[in-house]
Structure 1
Amino acid sequence: VEMLSPRETIHEFCVAVRDQLDFRKEAANNRRFQTIFADDPDVFVPKLHEEFCGEAVIVMEFVEGVKDSDIDSLDLDRKRLAQIGVRAILKMIYDHGFVHADLHPGNILFQPDYKVYFIDLGMVGEIDETRRNGLAATILGLARNDGPTVARFMYDGSPRKSVTDYDVYEQDVCALVNMMHQRSLNDFEMSEAIGAVFDICRRHKLHADPAFTTINIAMIVVEGLGKKLAPDLDLFAYVQPYLMQVVARAPEVFQQIVTSSTPRPSLDEHALPPVVAAIDTATDGAESSDEPGPGTGASL
């Protein structure tokens, strides 16, 4: 249990719950999400009635919509909806490190014109850029059947570690990654994978980073949303170009990804143009922005 960093995780959870008792913080979260999705034509959060908001009360617009369980009542392209929802959550995690931490299905509403609303914004999680890059690299390694990359970034991301034999640890991670790659997408479960990762961490005395608790939940929601709305959506193929653009902003991380000697499937040809553009941005114009996006205008 100690390997799961329970004290730190419980502390993070208690802080998040306590913050929900002060509606000024939820209002601040709402404003930040308004900024995050200001240029997104598909994703929204309810607008605040600022004059009525305070410590003990928050007032916002009423939002009509249906949950994913009732999506059949809308005659919509389910795959398009899934892509909008997944893209929004990826944007929270990897572009801004500011994540809705209570993403159960009741807090995501869909409208007939393909608008997606996130509601109940009192609980959020934050993750710094270093962790975001490491997580992106880890998932890329998983998507590309690159066990050594997954092992390396899991190891680097652990706040405390006492691994006695790195080679054995790496072999265990590679076996897990390979096993997951043998399954079809419908047989793959993110929650099961996270549990298996925690088991490896426990056996090799790698402490889990409590900062990833919220992110793990969000990734499970991403998977569940994709499977429920569009079971044929290849989630790994969909997110891979996006994550390549994320790690391209960190040249040292990108270098480790592209030089890994592990045999793996090649990048899809459609992923390459935005990746090249992201590399150009990272190498030629990094000074122009404190927090560049993952490739402005690039299609996911």
Structure 2
Amino acid sequence: MTQRRGRRALHILGRLGAQETSRAVKSRWTQRRGEHAEVSADRQRAVAIRQALEQLGPLYIKIGQILTTRPDFVPDYVREELALLTDQATVHPFASFAEVLEEELGADWHASFNSFETDEPLGAASLAQVYRTTRRDGTPCVVKIQRPGSIEAVLGDMQVLRRVAKVIGRGAPRFNEVIDISAMFDVVFRAMADELDFTREADNMKDARKAARDYKTIKIPKPILATPRVLIQTLADGQSANRLKGDELSTKQRKKVAKELMAYVFKSYFTDRAFHADPHPGNFLISPNGKAHIIDWGMVGRLDRSTSTAVLGAMVSIAYNDGPALARSWMQLGTPLPWSDVGGFISDISRFVPHVTDASLEKLNFGVALTSVLTFSTRRGIQTSPNVSMIGKSIANLEGTVRYIYPRMKMADIIRDFTQSILTGLVHESISPEQLALHAITAIQGISQNYPGDISESEGNQRTPHGPGATSAHRAQSDPTERHPYQQTVHGRACRRMQPGPVRCSSS
């Protein structure tokens, strides 16, 4: 499978290279004749890149979407085109999906439904097709069915991209030292693990429903039954946020929905630390009664406590127009390299922040502001955790969604409004028995380093990846087999699939 996926990738990328060569020859010819090169050359190049990624499949599409958050090494005209990436696949006949239903639910799967609209799916993506159904009890539902062979295809693509990362690391070591392509890919791989197993997506939905209980306008579909390749959930009412007409909700309703959406997602970033990684307008369905239904919980980003706190510090610093504080928070997210210019980075940020603080969503994308800081840090030789790109993409998508609902909303105001409650939660967490135990263990480890025969000080002070002092080489040494948790999880799920019986979701 890996070899076949590799040959397919080489074929598509080879065609892309041939097109680029043709454009270059044509450009030189027009210049030699004294004519201006085609103004649309960059546009054609960007479109070709986007189309190639869409042909390569879902994993490459996710990589392309992450690249839209990296202005530090991706040209603007390419990022603008990659923002149009969509995971739309050719609709396949229902027959192949019926086989999946039979394998996962049994030969009598149809007995669970009063109706099953098989003529045309509600949606078709490279990993699954979604159909509208009605359960025996009359409940309107949707059934998400995985495309046959999609898991093997994605795992094969992961192997190909891991080899690509190695080639880049050897061929451009200084570039890779700052960007760390392997780590950037791995963040996407881990986030995609949930998309390969629908029982995980169901778990994500249950967690999201619990988190949404405090918000009157936020609704999450209820998972009814899940297997690794089939997910049955309640039907979400409404239309995509980008199709919401001006007279369909009152200004008061729009403002409330927008504010609660931001508050809910901020809580997922900084309190729950598990967030919807793809909150584009199509995944937010707005109902006529002013409710926002959030769908498609396959791809969820996860943050550790220190990263989440540092990102919060960065966003609060922007909201309060504090450039030096933003620089300090950002330094906690990355590693200054030996040739870095930290003073220059602080100066860059201090000049940048005042232009961001008071802009509305009509004038500024806050997620883009974070990626702009990423540009400054890369330019000054500061390696940044690839998780920042994931959360930056999520924030940018969220803002795009809110812009359709209530464009006058200021994200800085929302951050200021909810900072107190978030910080209060962090304080309570920091004095919890679990955190106190961790602090005690850390203190004991620090004391033990002073005794002879223990790990040397230079080794003991070695930092974790993407903390101060971390390098990609450290990561490689700590994981020589390159067996990542997402691989083990996916294969583990594949083994458990052979056990009879689907997972019936609780009533939460």
**Shift of the alpha carbon at 1:241?**
2.5
1:16 and 2:191 are equivalent in the alignment? yes
Match of 2:240 in 1: 67
Deviations 1:162-218, CA, capped at 9 Å, x for gaps: 464432221111111133348665322335423421221112211121222321122
Partner of 1:190: 366
The answer to whether the 8 A contact 1:137-1:243 is kept is: no
* Alignment counterpart, residue 247 of structure 1, candidates 374, 399, 423: 423
Partner residue in 1 for 2:220: 45
Q: Secondary structure at the match of 2:301?
A: strand
Hey, what's the Cα distance between the residues in 2 that align with 1:103 and 1:153? Answer: 25
Looking at structure 1, the residues matched to 227 and 358 of structure 2 have their Cα atoms a distance apart, in angstroms, of: 52
> Is the deviation greater in 142-151 or in 225-234?
225-234
CA displacement 1:57-103 (0-9 Å, x = unmatched): 11111112111122226233221221121112112112200101121
Give, as a single letter, the amino acid of the residue that structure 2 aligns with 1:23: F
2:344 aligned counterpart, secondary structure: helix
Larger relative CO (CA 8 A, sep 6+): 1 or 2? Answer: 1
2:270 is matched with 94
Q: How does 1:105-184 map to 2 (within 5 A)?
A: 105-159=281-335, 161-162=337-338, 164-181=340-357
* 1:6 pairs with 2:181: yes
1:105 positional shift: 1.0
200, 219, 223: which one aligns with 2:376: 200
Tell me, which stretches of 5 or more residues in structure 2 are unaligned?
Answer: 1-174, 436-508
> Which TM-score applies when normalising by structure 2?
0.47
Q: Cα offset for 1:159?
A: 4.6
* Structure with the higher fraction of residues in strand conformation: 2
Distance 1:70 1:25, change over 3 A: same
Counterpart CA distance in 1 for 2:303 and 2:220 is 21
The 3-state SS of whatever aligns with 1:186 is coil
Work out the percentage of aligned pairs sharing the same amino acid. 21
| Larger mean Cα displacement after TM superposition, 231-240 or 35-44 | 35-44
Query: Separation in 2 of the partners of 1:243 and 1:211?
Result: 21
* Structure 1 counterpart of 2:203, from 1, 24, 28: 28
The CA deviation at 1:34 is 2.0
Inter-partner Cα distance in structure 2 for 1:18 and 1:114: 33
Partners of 1:84 and 1:116 within 8 A in 2: no
Q: Distance in 1 between matches of 2:347 and 2:214?
A: 44
CA RMSD of aligned residues (A): 2.5
Distance 1:181 1:100, change over 3 A: closer
Inter-partner Cα distance in structure 1 for 2:370 and 2:296: 26
The count of corresponding residues between Structure 1 and Structure 2 is: 257
CA distance in structure 1 between the aligned counterparts of 2:279 and 2:393, rounded to whole angstroms? 8
Whether the 8 Å contact between 1:136 and 1:247 is mirrored in structure 2 is no
Q: 2:276, 2:300 within 8 Å by CA — same for their partners in 1?
A: yes
| Whole-angstrom CA distance in 1 between matches of 2:358 and 2:273 | 31
Moved more, 56-65 or 73-82: 73-82
Structure 2 Cα separation of the partners of residues 230 and 78 of structure 1: 6
